[in-house]
Structure 1
């Protein structure tokens, strides 16, 4: 398609330092909507799985007893900040609510940095492997800058200075801390049903194996997920690569932005108030 790379051309004409939000919005809403949403899901799965963080989540019961709502709330807060930025009142409200939710818990700065690193690195690597094209340097830098800004506004310190530096730090921390633990396994079993909804109905009998194949080996070990048979892993890889080639050759830029009619979630069929996202205020007071 002659206009397939129009958004990329436009992105390359922008300044990531100034226009990082515009670039990141374009990635999510126009260029890679399905891949970005899945990449963010995988990022949260990973962040929930290191022992220090998984222990907090199993103690609250938010992910194991109110799974759909907890996942919806997390996604809604992130999407509100991406769609509106940090200066818009809805973006400010979402950031304020995220800080309120985390305030009662003792979470180390390194663990906060790791969660931030998951959001930066995991979706980017997914795009590099399975996107219809790899993200360009402007897109990688804009992704880093958006989450660096989020991290700073959440009080996270010592954030690495570039995408490449963050990726290196993330890999080191991930290798040291993403270890097998029962809490991570419990959370994975609870959240797995949400990943299964992404599997086409015709492939439902292979659903659990396909979800396992979406994880890399360290995440499977941490969550005690069996390694799927080689044909399942190879078949998923081939299917995703084929999808990318078809999109690259026959696809066209999305004309209607993702969330053009507003952000929706199963837990809130009639809409939501940002102030009510997350656990009750007596559990996440501020």
Structure 2
């Protein structure tokens, strides 16, 4: 375990870095994809050009930054450098504190959702509380307003409300999904599933996000195959844990 790991969110760091790192990476990728459903965010991401030309590189950089913050701590030299970089990257017209809050919420909530749904065990209360502590610390470090409520469930509730108001189709969102489903999510999935992208990738989206990205719901056999493959993988991991 990383020696610089901040004690306040040690349980969260252990979960995403050691216990279920692969599930955490898939969940983080799904969190990134989720932001495509917000037209204002999709417009900014698409405008940089990186997500459509090198989606894996862009997502890898985001994941590396998040895992460094979680593993080394927000107050570490590496953590401070990343926070400063995030401040600069997002200090541009159109990036409001509310949009930044939503992005951070996706990066915290979505990995835990994926672990709950497809990991070999559910996230514990201690891990969930530690995740909220990390989320609160990063929000403060970025100069954002405090997250709503005092627990992660409150952040999730705020996310759902924000999405119900702001999810909408956009040309930028569709272009980002096209790039991500073919070159990004496929790289995060087990080999047999990756070969069937992007239909498999679409199976990992919920209906509100599919509607926002104008993605067809995959056929029932594809959805069943994805569920079965992830369940078998979780069982194998449970047996080896």
**Residue 76 of structure 1: aligned partner:** 64
CA distance in 2, matches of 1:198, 1:40: 10
**Residue 156 of structure 2: aligned partner:** 167
Tell me if 1:149 matches 2:118. no
Check 1:204–1:145 CA distance in 2 against 1; reply closer, same or farther (3 A cut). Answer: closer
CA distance in 2, matches of 1:73, 1:213: 25
Deviation at 1:67, TM superposition (A): 2.7
Higher alpha-carbon deviation: 238-247 or 225-234: 238-247
CA distance in 1, matches of 2:91, 2:118: 36
CA distance in 1, matches of 2:31, 2:195: 25
Tell me if 1:187 matches 2:187. no
**Residue 216 of structure 1: aligned partner:** 206
Alignment root-mean-square deviation, CA: 1.8
Structure of higher RCO (CA pairs closer than 8 Å, 6+ residues apart): 1
Q: Which of 6, 20, 29 matches 1:41?
A: 29
Q: Which has the larger radius of gyration?
A: 1
Check 1:73–1:203 CA distance in 2 against 1; reply closer, same or farther (3 A cut). Answer: closer
Contact 1:77–1:95 (8 Å) recurs in 2:
no
Check 1:130–1:66 CA distance in 2 against 1; reply closer, same or farther (3 A cut). Answer: closer
Q: TM-score, normalised by structure 1?
A: 0.77
Structure with the bigger percentage of helix: 2
Contact 1:199–1:207 (8 Å) recurs in 2:
no
**Residue 112 of structure 2: aligned partner:** 124
What are the ranges of 5 or more consecutive residues in structure 1 without an aligned counterpart? 1-17, 253-286
**Residue 246 of structure 1: aligned partner:** 236
Contact 2:25–2:188 (8 Å) recurs in 1:
no
Q: Which runs of 4+ in 1 moved over 6 A?
A: none
Tell me the alpha carbon deviations over residues 119-173 of structure 1, each in whole angstroms, 9 at most, x when there is no partner. 2221111111111110111111111110111111111114112111111111111
What are the ranges of 5 or more consecutive residues in structure 2 without an aligned counterpart? 1-5
Check 1:175–1:137 CA distance in 2 against 1; reply closer, same or farther (3 A cut). Answer: same
CA distance in 2, matches of 1:196, 1:114: 25
Deviation at 1:106, TM superposition (A): 2.6
Q: TM-score, normalised by structure 2?
A: 0.90
